[in-house]
Amino acid sequence: MPVYEYKCEKCALVFEAIQKFSDAPLTECKSCGGPVEKQISQTAFSLKGSGWYQQGYSGSPDKSAKPACPSAGSGGGCGGCPKAANE
């Protein structure tokens, strides 16, 4: 479940709350009962390592990889392949 950060407008307390996506946002401070505002904070999600980039997004394809389309043959192109028309 995601962790959301809130800041109290009355006492300036910053606190975190674990909530489901479907849960309503909190409206009052757990310390003083004042109104709170949901904060935008940095996520913990990051893509690390070289695999995801080199395999799908780098400009230099892996020479040992098989062609994406079986009808590509040794030429590497998909000429009349229906998949090529959609790319």
For the chain, the domains span: 3-39
For the stretch 27-52, pLDDT in tens is 999 899 999 999 987 776 777 766 66
Within 10 angstroms of residue 8's Cβ, the number of other Cβ atoms is 19
| 1-10, 15-24, 31-40, 51-60: segment of lowest average pLDDT | 51-60
What's 12-69 look like in SS3? CCEEEEECCCCCCCCCECCCCCCEEEEECCCCCCCCCCCHHHHHHCCCCCCCCCCCCC
What value does the mean pLDDT take over residues 16-28?
93
pLDDT of 53: 61
Farthest-apart Cα atoms in the chain, separation: 71
